[in-house]
Structure 1
């Protein structure tokens, strides 16, 4: 078994000092990631610069730079299409009209209350792609845009020849490396081909409070753990997970820590939440402000298991292998009352599967942006068990899966969160619901993570089970 631990807070503080937030990944074979100290120094000079302008529309603007001297064209793709609630019709998806049309408002036209929403609105990250401009013949390509408060994902395309970027590989910002990428460009575990920035909010233009996402200089620690996983297919007989330990984590504390298990979505892996999800700064802020108690967060890899009914292979490995590993290597509780499970999209489906078939493993379940399989019926025993659990169901009002679920071809994988709430409540099971403006995207899931941990996980039940 192997362990990688990297504490990137010093780098995050340094980037924030020049007004850019900690980032996510450096990317693929075509990435501009630095491979030498000289290249690393050059990349650092081109970190994103966040400037407080005090001017409309947002009070802040961000300048992105990429050093690509051999490129003929460089483009940037950013998580900054927006929608305006007052102009949406319908406001939320319905079975008759499931897709809320997204206007694709650009940052220059942003107004207070606007929220990120892909255009066209779908489960795909359909964000704007615009050309960057080379600064003279310096090989430095730049793009400046206003942005409101919050965390934003972005990536570069270098010499992409297709209008829709099909067949082109996005490149992460080499000045904004993931926590699991070293200064030499070498990585442990997977990397995602994008980066993140955090932008503060100017209250004169943007009344929203996004400070709970802001990088913290002395926060917790992220570790990439590889563990023995007999029967796992890829990698063979082993698997990996990311573990977050809170600020001031004490391996000898008399009271063991509660544990939140947090699952990624489709097309992602164990690194998703700690990169695009901004897990560490969110948890750091919530813990350091006293809004949640210190906890350990485990982000397992849900991929690479043999085919099984209702994800049984994943569930068996999680309970039979990951639980004992965590209890042997970290100061975490062995009680279900101190364990919570949550996940987004495909991770929301895993949440439901654990909730239905391993109800006694966790006392708290947080389902994000998914739903139950079509035709799901609950047995009397499942109903009785779920009445004892604390259940959270959330998603984006404008998510295309909100009212009708998600299908691949003619196969419907789930019926959506709206129908899940109805199924559970019709059975007499109390559900804490949390629907926010947004689609099938990270701005929603970061918010739901905050809300699940502050409103449901490790808190007393908000309703009593029915008496017999």
Structure 2
């Protein structure tokens, strides 16, 4: 009798557990997606929506919020009202979007929240939802290629005397790094923009896929890429750092850590720095103040100068003597999207002034967004250390 009771109890527990697992993981039977739509590559495991149509570049979003009075989608600067069905599922279809990565939020009764169906991405100073509107084969350079060797992105912490606490950085080493124990490598320091963090280039930017492809094809020399935080953070014990100038941390704390931890070439000809948006500005502030340490630099949507400014007086007069600048700086790479504020006037002024070691790049059809910066990195990295 005891064996029968134990058996029945076991079967009941298994049944409850199975039902909970099915409900929690799989939910109700999924209906087929509309023709032409596929789950977005940025979705969480098993999530059908958001669903993207690669041809029309539209996306369908669904949110389960049976007790909400109003639900809306906030995507690419536009708010879409969502429609509720009898099961409490809210739905909307977006306008055609520009290809690439876009942050978005769900507004439930005017409160912005993440969509639980997508992975989270740190942007605009909070964990955001994101969606990738896919390019065609032209986007293969930032996709994972199973047929080539891949480098590693290492997550590391280092102590910053200036910050007064530990700081986090990500470091990419090329695929050959472990198999060449006697070889030293040049280093590119790669900065994120405002409201994002040191994980942005790895997650939203697909930096490792880009570098793997360039190095394997022989377009870029094997290099180490360092991605640090562009902010000076605090904790419950450290409420204020000794300075609000993060460039001091890059020079005095980060660089020494990298050079004693990795096999690096430690001279200016083998150091580069680049950054997007605010990171581009931080690049100019760091490099122009330390021309004895860097010979290569790039700004992606981040070369900030006001129209009409005298270019010879910008950045404390670093461009005043064109010949001297070209002797010190092997490359000043300035990139932008065609749909954002352009620095072309400043670039033309620099060229007219006599600066020769300058390359200007435009990403066609993109604005202040990750596809602009993926394209910029893909053009910039092959020019380095040659």
Q: TM-score, length-normalised on structure 2?
A: 0.71
Deviations 1:288-326 (A, max 9, x none): 444323332211112128586xx8x43332122212211
1:385 positional shift = 4.6
Matched, 1:244 2:175: no
1:352 positional shift = 1.5
Residue 75 of structure 1, aligned match among 72, 76, 99: 72
Deviations 1:379-432 (A, max 9, x none): 7778525434221112234423x2xxxxxxxxxxxxx56325523651444211
* 1:170-181 matches, cutoff 5 A: 170-177=113-120
Contact 2:198 2:228 in 1 (8 A): yes
Distance 1:428 1:301, change over 3 A: same
* 1:2-401 matches, cutoff 5 A: 20-22=40-42, 44-46=46-48, 48-50=50-52, 58=55, 62-79=59-76, 127-134=77-84, 136-137=86-87, 139-144=88-93, 150-161=99-110, 168-177=111-120, 192-197=127-132, 199-201=134-136, 209-216=138-145, 219-232=150-163, 236-247=164-175, 249-250=177-178, 252-304=180-232, 313-369=245-301, 370-372=303-305, 375-376=313-314, 377-378=317-318, 384-389=324-329, 390-400=331-341
Radius of gyration: which is bigger?
A: 2
Which structure 2 residue ranges, 5 or more long, are not aligned? 1-37, 234-240
Deviations 1:407-461 (A, max 9, x none): xxxxxxxxx563255236514442111133333333322221111113x222x3x
Residue 432 of structure 1, aligned match among 352, 359, 362: 359
Judging by fraction of residues, say which structure has more helix.
Answer: 2
Q: Secondary structure at the match of 1:439?
A: coil
Deviations 1:185-220 (A, max 9, x none): xxxxx863132425142xxxxxx7222232456844
Q: TM-score, length-normalised on structure 1?
A: 0.60
CA distance in 1, matches of 2:159, 2:328: 33
Kindly indicate whether structure 1 or structure 2 has the higher relative contact order, using CA contacts under 8 Å at least 6 residues apart.
1
CA distance in 2, matches of 1:434, 1:286: 18
Q: Secondary structure at the match of 1:359?
A: coil
Contact 1:151 1:213 in 2 (8 A): no
Deviations 1:31-75 (A, max 9, x none): xxxxxxxxx8xx6334544456xxxxx366544444445444433
Distance 1:259 1:337, change over 3 A: same
Q: Secondary structure at the match of 2:298?
A: strand
Deviations 1:71-120 (A, max 9, x none): 444333334xxxxxxxxxxxxxxxxxxxxxxxxxxxxxxxxxxxxxxxxx
Contact 1:371 1:420 in 2 (8 A): no
Distance 1:152 1:285, change over 3 A: same
Which structure 1 residue ranges, 5 or more long, are not aligned? 1-17, 24-39, 53-57, 80-126, 162-167, 181-189, 202-207, 403-415, 461-468
Distance 1:45 1:442, change over 3 A: closer
Q: Secondary structure at the match of 1:192?
A: strand
Contact 1:173 1:195 in 2 (8 A): no
Task: Give RMSD over aligned pairs.
Answer: 3.5
CA distance in 2, matches of 1:22, 1:289: 27
Judging by fraction of residues, say which structure has more strand.
Answer: 2
Contact 2:63 2:115 in 1 (8 A): no
Residue 371 of structure 2, aligned match among 437, 443, 464: 443
Q: Secondary structure at the match of 1:360?
A: coil
CA distance in 2, matches of 1:367, 1:226: 26
CA distance in 2, matches of 1:338, 1:291: 17
